[in-house]
Structure formats: C-alpha cells, structure tokens
Structure 1
C-alpha cells in the first residue's frame, strides 16, 4: 500500500503532461489567418499650371547714387548733416567760406551798374545824331559811330550781367546741397579742409535705397534653354507685370516684399558667361543695403501641364537614377524611371515617366515588394501609419486578467520511486 500511494501521484502527473501535449498539437494544427496586404500612401498625379522658378544669386545696388563734390574752391567752414542719416534733395550739407564770393558778386554788381550807365549815354548820343541827320545837321558817319557805340554798350552790359550771374552762382555753390534724396554716408572731410572745384575728391556719398535694385546673374545656357522651351510651346511666357521676384534671407525665410523684373542685359560677361538681370524691390524699412549678397526666386515662365510630386516620392535605383513607385490597376507596385525638372515649392516637376491619373506612392516604401499586392490609401495630407492590431474585446481582457491573477498550481509529490 505505501508503494501504491507513491505511484499514484506520479501516474497523474504523466497523464497531465500527455493531455497538455495533445492540446498543443491540436492548437498548432489550426491554420493561421491570412496576412493583411501592406498599406502604402499615394497621391493621384494631375496636370496643373506651375510657374518655372529659378533661384539665382545677386547683389543689392542703390537705385540712385550721387557723389557730393565741391563746385567752387574754398575752405569748408561747417558741416550740417548727421552721418548715416536720411537727407532730402536740397538740404544743406557743407558750407564753404562765402566771403570771397560775396565780394566777387558785389564787384559784378558794380560792373553791371557801370555798363548800364554807359549804355544809357550811348543810346542818348545815338538818338541825338539820328535827329541831326534828319535835319542834315550831322553826317551819316557821325550817326553810324554813335549807333555802334550804343551797340557796344549793350554788349558790355550783357557781359556784365553774365559775370554777375556767375558770381551769384558761385556764392550759391558755396553752400553744398544734397543733389538727391537718400541715405548719406560718412563725411569724407572735416571743417577747415580746402576743397578744389577741379578736384575729383568726394565730400560724401548719397544713395537712394527705397526702392532698391537687386542685380542677379543667370548663365547663358539657362537662358537659352528657357527661350528654346518658350519658342517650342513647352512653356508659356509670363507677363512682366504678373511675374514676381522674392528675396530669400540667409536663414531661408522670404523677404516680406516682392519685386518686379525690370530688364536683362543684352551682353554676357565674357569672364563668367553670365547675364545680369535687374530687379526692383521695395525697401521701406531699410533692411536691404547696397553691396549685400542676396538670393532671388524669380518666375520666368509657366508650365501649363506640369505634374508635380512631393520630394519624398522620388526614389533612386542602384545606378542613382530617379524613379517613382506607381500602384497599378491590379494593386501591385511598379517602379518607373522618370525625368525630373526643377523643384518648385518643395515638389519635383516630373517631365517624363508618369501621366495624369497615375497613383504615385509617397509613403510606405519599406513595405513594398515587387509583385505583391498592396492596400493603396489616398493621402490628403500627413503621413500613413503602420497597420495596428485590432483592439481586444472586453471579454478577452477579462479572461486575460483572470488568468494573470490566478495562482499558479504545480503538481506536488509526496515521494518518489527509487
């Protein structure tokens, strides 16, 4: 009997082990559910008008530039302007000692008065001889001499008045004024300096900065391709009053004001092979200043039937050639080599390889296998999320919690067979 009590628990443990093995074998024989097709996000390719935009380098230049110079010779006695300030046309900038010019003007005033008196006497003399000639009391030669003296006096008066005007101008030039409105730079000389009317020395420089020019450069090759596409009809000409030019800051942000293209040079730079295009752009806050480097985004044409795809849609094969993944009618994915154009607003312009209506994959590339069907999901915005398992039901969650909370029972033996 003691031996039977020891064998019974062991026998029960063996039966339990065989039962568990049979259950596992039954569960493993149940077929697994079929795998869901991988999801990929796509957009539908569509033709639409897209502006052909070029991003070109350039330099900022003032719309007007004036070098202030002295027009008379003399000593500078005063400076009126604040360096770096805004001045208006006609504002006083420098004062050259006016005393010599006032004296010269007074002298010319006296010469004019003398010439007027001489002319008055000569005119009276000519009139007198004319009366005597009519009475045959004077000869014709006497009258002609008197008339010639009158004409000489008139010429002398005209010369005196011209000298008077020149003296008045010199006195006015002694006050150096701003020739244009704009921002004035630093003073290039100080009070007490001697300036010469025949010297090329500048007193200051004034630049008009609102609006302001941006001189951008473009290669001759790009211009030739653009004109060829316009001539063939592949691109449409954009009206000058519609085309916009935007400047790009160093941090990638856009300048708040847009400009317009004025003209392009007809001569290329022989050293660089580039053509200069001039853009006019508002600068009310003075944020742009001459000489600074700028990048300009300029619209040069319109592609009426362009197909644009997001940049992440473009993949590359082993040879580095661009390609797009397209969902076909049977929901399989095929790779198509494409020819790309420019990047416009963060999207590639596709010149060849896809057509309007194609479903272009833009997300889920890691789940793509050639020849395997996919579940295509049209994306309106954002990114596609991975397939997630279905949420468990309330009864399943209750069973799982009960199983986890139940104490684990292990078979106990009171002895062993030796």
Structure 2
C-alpha cells in the first residue's frame, strides 16, 4: 500500500513538473519570437517641406447687398388704378410701374391750362396796348404776374400727376407687388422692391488688429454655401472708425454677379487676398497632429537597415492657414519629408513605406 502511494506521488510530481516546464518553455519561445519580430512597414503618403510662395489672406463673414436696391414707395396717396409689373420681371429705367387714380388732378389741370391760356391772352393784349401808349405800366405788370401764376399752377398740377404715375428709378429685377388694384395707399407705403443684381456689394467686418493690412483696391474672393458659387471683386471702401462695442471695422467690396446667383441679404464667406510672400514652408493640414503636448508631425528618416525608412515625431510651431495648407514657422527645415496621411497607425521609430500615388488634398492647394 505504501509502495503504491509512493509511485502515485512520483507520477503526479512528474506530470506537474512537465506541465510547468512546458509552460515556461512556451512563454520563453513566445517572448523570443516577439522580441525578434519586425513589424510590417506602414504605407503612408508624404509631402516635402520646401520654401515656396504663400498667398496670405484675411477671412471674414459677409452679407450681400445690391449695388442699387430700394424699396419703392408711393409718393402721393390715392386709390391704385393699375399695376403694370409682375413679380421677378426685368424692369428698365423709367418704365411705368404703378398708376394712382388721377381723375381729380386731370380736371384741375384742364382748368389750370384754361386759366393759363386766358392769362397769356390778357398779357398779349396788355403788351399791344402798352406799345401803342394807351395802357398804364401797372396793367402790363399785373398781366405778367397773372400769367406767371397760371403757369406755375399748371406746373404744380403736372408735378402732382407725375407723383401719381410711379416709374422705375433704375433697371433691375422687381419683387412681389405689395398692393392691389383698388386699394387705397398712403404716402410712403412700399409697393415693391427693386434690385439691380448685375453687380453686388458685400459688407463684412474685420477686427481692429487686421484693419492695417487691408486697403481699398485689394482683390477679394467671395463664396456661397449654396452651390459652391465663387465670385471675385475688390474692396471699394473701409469705414473710417472702429465700432467701440464690437471692436470691428466695416469693409465693403464690390463683386460681379453675371450669373445672378448672389441675392441681397445672402450669407457669404469673404477672403481678402494680400500681396504674396516668398520662402514660406507650408504643409497640408492633414500632416499636423495636435495633442496636449503641442503640434507635431512625423518626419521620414533613413532606418538602420539599408533600404528601409522610419518616422520621427517632431514638434513644430504653426502659423497662418490658407485653405488646405498651413504655415510651419519652426521645427522643420527645407527638404524634410513629412507624412500627410496614415499617422494614426504610427509611433516614433515605426517603419514606413512611402506611396504618393494618392494624396489626401488637392494638388492645386499645395501650390
């Protein structure tokens, strides 16, 4: 019995020892495998950090304003007799738009013209008598005054009639009629809006710190959120004072609108183009990584093994932005090859394979 117990203990010890030894051997081999394993190079695309031209600019949010745009209002009260336009019609300068009832004024005009004819006849008769020497001087003067008064009365009534006949002050596109035929309108009541859409103005505001770099004549580019519409123009005016509440300065630019895609009151993005600069290192914004420690990029360096490349994380100081590009002020030197895509799989010292057949940004933005 004791002999069997001893044999069982020996067998159990051998089994346990074998399991422990196998586990240690397996762990050692796994550790040896991972310590000598070379990770597969990560495929990335790169950009060269080379000094080149930089197109600086100032960006702002603007509002479109028609070069000519007014709310047309009634000049003389009365009943609307005729509406001579339809919504969104192309209107020519001087075109008749609205007719207010003028029957009473026309009757007054007829009476005034008759009085004028009588006054002019009396004046002619007084002149004849004066030339013959059979009339006093004061009679001629009275006739002249009556003729002048009658003529002024006719002109006054004609001016009232013109106020009843409303015409377009300039060419443009007219809006929806705000009155109806038969409606009684009062002086100053708006009956439609007229906008000249051939040329547009854009009003935008800049901080007082940036006002020193802009001046009249600088080119601007405006873009719309709708339809990706772009237009070019120039600055035509700068408000000569800073708003004390917002610390902003109002700037006005004029842009073309040949296609008619910009409407008054529309939201627009504005970029003021400043004179170009040379020798600026710029990279695609996709190359930049931001963390709590600062901004950094991955720079491609030669690896220890011939023919291989690795990356080094380099912290940089950034400057201005222009579209998809960002200025690098400090941290890189000319000729550095910087990763612009694939950084999420990298760490310092990672092996990489460079493939620039596809770029994460437009080539035009990089130039």
TM over 0.5: yes
1:103 is aligned to 2:110: no
Asked if 2 retains the 8 angstrom alpha-carbon contact of 1:84 and 1:186, the reply is yes
For residues 25-72 of structure 1, give each alpha carbon's deviation from its aligned partner in whole angstroms, at most 9, with x where no partner exists: xxxxxxx99999877654332222221233321222222222323333
Residue equivalent to 1:403: none
Asked if 1 retains the 8 angstrom alpha-carbon contact of 2:224 and 2:267, the reply is no
Residue equivalent to 1:115: 119
Number of equivalences: 320
Residue equivalent to 1:19: none
- Aligned pairs for 1:367-386 (under 5 A) are 367=346, 369-370=348-349, 377=354, 379=356, 382=359
CA distance in structure 1 between the partners assigned to 2:195 and 2:39 by the alignment: 73
Would the alpha carbon gap of residues 376 and 83 (structure 1) be closer, same or farther in structure 2, given more than 3 Å must change? closer
SS in 2 for 1:190: coil
For residues 320-351 of structure 1, give each alpha carbon's deviation from its aligned partner in whole angstroms, at most 9, with x where no partner exists: 41123334688775443322123323111112
Residue equivalent to 2:207: 219
Would the alpha carbon gap of residues 39 and 110 (structure 1) be closer, same or farther in structure 2, given more than 3 Å must change? closer
Would the alpha carbon gap of residues 167 and 35 (structure 1) be closer, same or farther in structure 2, given more than 3 Å must change? closer
CA distance in structure 2 between the partners assigned to 1:218 and 1:71 by the alignment: 39
- Aligned pairs for 1:14-413 (under 5 A) are 41-129=45-133, 146-196=136-186, 199-221=187-209, 223=210, 227=212, 240=217, 243-250=219-226, 254-317=228-291, 319-327=292-300, 333-363=311-341, 365=343, 366-367=345-346, 369-370=348-349, 377=354, 379=356, 382=359
Would the alpha carbon gap of residues 77 and 64 (structure 1) be closer, same or farther in structure 2, given more than 3 Å must change? same
Q: Which runs of 5+ in 2 are unaligned?
A: 1-35, 304-308, 361-367
Would the alpha carbon gap of residues 43 and 126 (structure 1) be closer, same or farther in structure 2, given more than 3 Å must change? same
CA distance in structure 2 between the partners assigned to 1:187 and 1:39 by the alignment: 64
CA distance in structure 1 between the partners assigned to 2:132 and 2:216 by the alignment: 77
Q: Which runs of 5+ in 1 are unaligned?
A: 1-31, 133-142, 231-236, 384-418
SS in 2 for 1:254: coil
CA distance in structure 2 between the partners assigned to 1:240 and 1:93 by the alignment: 38
Larger Rg: 1
CA distance in structure 2 between the partners assigned to 1:74 and 1:33 by the alignment: 95
CA distance in structure 1 between the partners assigned to 2:299 and 2:183 by the alignment: 78
Moved more, 40-49 or 173-182: 40-49
For residues 87-128 of structure 1, give each alpha carbon's deviation from its aligned partner in whole angstroms, at most 9, with x where no partner exists: 222222221122212212111212221221222222223222
Moved more, 351-360 or 204-213: 351-360
Over 4 Å off, 4+ runs: 32-41, 327-334, 374-381
Cα root mean square deviation, aligned: 3.4
Would the alpha carbon gap of residues 195 and 378 (structure 1) be closer, same or farther in structure 2, given more than 3 Å must change? closer
For residues 340-367 of structure 1, give each alpha carbon's deviation from its aligned partner in whole angstroms, at most 9, with x where no partner exists: 1233231111122223333333356445
Residue equivalent to 1:136: none
Deviation at 1:308, TM superposition (A): 0.9
Would the alpha carbon gap of residues 238 and 179 (structure 1) be closer, same or farther in structure 2, given more than 3 Å must change? closer
